[in-house]
Amino acid sequence: MEVLELARWQFGITTVYHFLMVPLTIGLSILVAGMQTAWVRTGNERYLKMTKFWGKLLLVNFAMGVVTGIVQEFQFGMNWSAYSRFVGDVFGAPLAMEGLVAFFVESTFLGLWIFGWDRLPKRVHLACVWAFSLATVASAYFILAANSWMQHPVGVEFVDGTPTMNSIWAVLTNNTALAAIPHTVAGTFSVAAAFVVGVSAWQLWRKRQRNVAGKRMVDQDVNDEHQRVWRSSLKLGTWTGVVAFGVLAITGDLQGKLMFEQQPMKMAAAEALCHTEQPASFSILAIGDVADANCENVKTFTVPALLSFLAHNDFTTEVKGIEDLVGQYQERYGSHYPDDPALGELAGQPIDYVPNLPVTYWGFRIMIGFGAISAATGVLALWLTRRDRVPDSKWFPRLALLSIATPFIANSAGWIFTEMGRQPFVVVPNPTGVDGVWMFTAQAVSNVSAGEVWVSLISLTALYAVLGVVEVFLMTKYIRGGVDAVYPPKHPQGDSDSNDHDDTGDSKGDALAFAY
């Protein structure tokens, strides 16, 4: 494999892995802040137990997200130094803001929240978790602003062959970023909701099994305080997931219209739309090889005129196909790569302006399909828990646990589609922007050998595998421990076991006991 291909694989592996942690942290942090708000306002201990249980899982996931995120910035220096030199004046600004502002606030207030239990006034302590939660959203916004500039460069002028920023405000208010942030935040809520629903459903089923084995009555289960914790969590997760999917659908439509305007090839590839159509049909499913640029061997099931609506908000407008777009791109950006030795085997070769069609076409459908499955599970859970009922079937907790993976898959597929769909550009040209502010991915890689990239690729993948095992182990441990693991019941005086816990619920030997 060539250096370019290896570097792209490394970026894909590390970024998708890191992106598994990020949405859960953002979505769960806001849900935890809401739980603590409910406790402060009502004084109901159930909400305190919810805050402590889900807060501990949040801390585990946040820690893993920080570790895996640090690697991302090193990657730009290791494998993408040419890119860093080209865009450093612009790309560095939002990244610096993310580190110096958002992450600083996140870390500071997370620390105050962890160590502030029973030390800070309740409302001040509550403000800390909200500050942390909102900072995670701000962090996501700065990263999206940087990424959106690569998708749609604005706020720059071209000076001596380099894009030079002339308006940080334009970069931060890029319409691509403003459309991406609500869609991304809704995606984080979808992930957190599925996680809360899956764990809560499993805990309810587990507790019921234990009570049945102990020959307790069903009405006793209903009055059980822990049962109420899981039921409240389940309801919170289901409503959050259903609302999040609605927001995803609306914001996804807004993003799609912008993409048709700014990156028409990406959306044509997402539809495997070989030829221009008027009106254009939306492809639901394709049978055959979608990589066939002529569509000769592909049978598609479509909704007439829907693609025209998704692209331009009416049912009659023409949508350009891949064939016509390739001609336009060649006319504007050239038909061959520069004859530059730094490009290796690609020097002087024809430019392929068509992204990987199977990845973009199926990635787009996986994103939508798995998001819909997650929402459907939420709707089902709402029906099963109507009028404070407790689901007693065996299949529901299993389905809910499996559904935890669905929004993770949808988020990852959406991210892969966004990044792969802009190829062969790493900085996509703005059709109405400054000429020259674009860069081919082949021009962005560092002057390193394939062997060197192999070493870092294998090392980081192995490290991430170890971190993945640690994450799953810790999450499983605290989930199985349930509420008692973070909020142990108080024992009567004289009970020898009472020495294992202090008044705030700390337990010896617990790796995260300092948090409580």
The pLDDT, as a whole number, for residue 294 is: 67
CB atoms within 10 A of CB 160: 5
- Smallest CA-to-CA distance from 487 within 511, 509, 504 is with 504
The pLDDT, as a whole number, for residue 66 is: 84
Q: What is the pLDDT of residues 72-118, one digit of tens each?
A: 777 778 889 999 889 888 988 998 898 888 888 999 999 999 999 98
Is the confidence at residue 248, as pLDDT, over 80?
yes
Q: 217 in helix, strand or coil?
A: coil
- Smallest CA-to-CA distance from 226 within 501, 505, 481 is with 481
Q: Mean pLDDT across the stretch 434-456?
A: 89
Is residue 308 a contact partner of residue 317, using CB atoms and an 8 Å limit?
Answer: yes
Q: How much of the chain, in percent, has pLDDT values that exceed 90?
A: 49
Q: Mean pLDDT across the stretch 199-218?
A: 73
3-state helix/strand/coil string of 316-367: CCCECCHHHHHHHHHHHHCCECCCCHHHHHHCCCECCCCCCHHHHHHHHHHH
CB atoms within 10 A of CB 505: 21
Confidence class for position 319, pLDDT limits 50, 70, 90: very high
Measured CA to CA, the distance from residue 226 to residue 488 in angstroms comes to 11
Q: How much of the chain, in percent, has pLDDT values that exceed 70?
A: 91
Mean pLDDT over all residues of the chain? 86
Residues in the chain: 516
**Residue 467 Cα to chain centre, angstroms:** 18
Q: Mean pLDDT across the stretch 10-30?
A: 91
**Residue 231 Cα to chain centre, angstroms:** 26
Q: Is the previous residue joined to 358 through a cis bond, with omega within 30 degrees of 0?
A: no
Residues 6+ apart with CB under 8 A from 199: 57, 233, 404, 479
Is residue 296 a contact partner of residue 340, using CB atoms and an 8 Å limit?
Answer: no
The pLDDT, as a whole number, for residue 335 is: 92
Between 234 and 296, where is the model more confident?
234
Q: 301 in helix, strand or coil?
A: strand
Is the confidence at residue 354, as pLDDT, over 60?
yes
The pLDDT, as a whole number, for residue 360 is: 93
The pLDDT, as a whole number, for residue 234 is: 92
The pLDDT, as a whole number, for residue 212 is: 64
Is the confidence at residue 505, as pLDDT, over 60?
no
Indicate the residue type of 26.
Answer: I
Residues 6+ apart with CB under 8 A from 35: 47, 50, 51, 54, 236
The pLDDT, as a whole number, for residue 491 is: 56
- Smallest CA-to-CA distance from 87 within 40, 155, 8 is with 155
User: How many C-alpha atoms does 514 have within 13 Å on its Cβ side?
Assistant: 8
The pLDDT, as a whole number, for residue 68 is: 82
Confidence class for position 503, pLDDT limits 50, 70, 90: very low
Measured CA to CA, the distance from residue 319 to residue 336 in angstroms comes to 26
Only one residue has tokens 């029906």, namely 383
Is the confidence at residue 152, as pLDDT, over 50?
yes
CB atoms within 10 A of CB 510: 18
Q: What is the pLDDT of residues 388-410, one digit of tens each?
A: 777 777 888 899 999 999 999 99
**Domain ranges (residues) in the chain:** 3-263+355-485, 264-354
- Angle (nearest 5°) at CA 235 between 232 and 236: 85
Q: 284 in helix, strand or coil?
A: strand
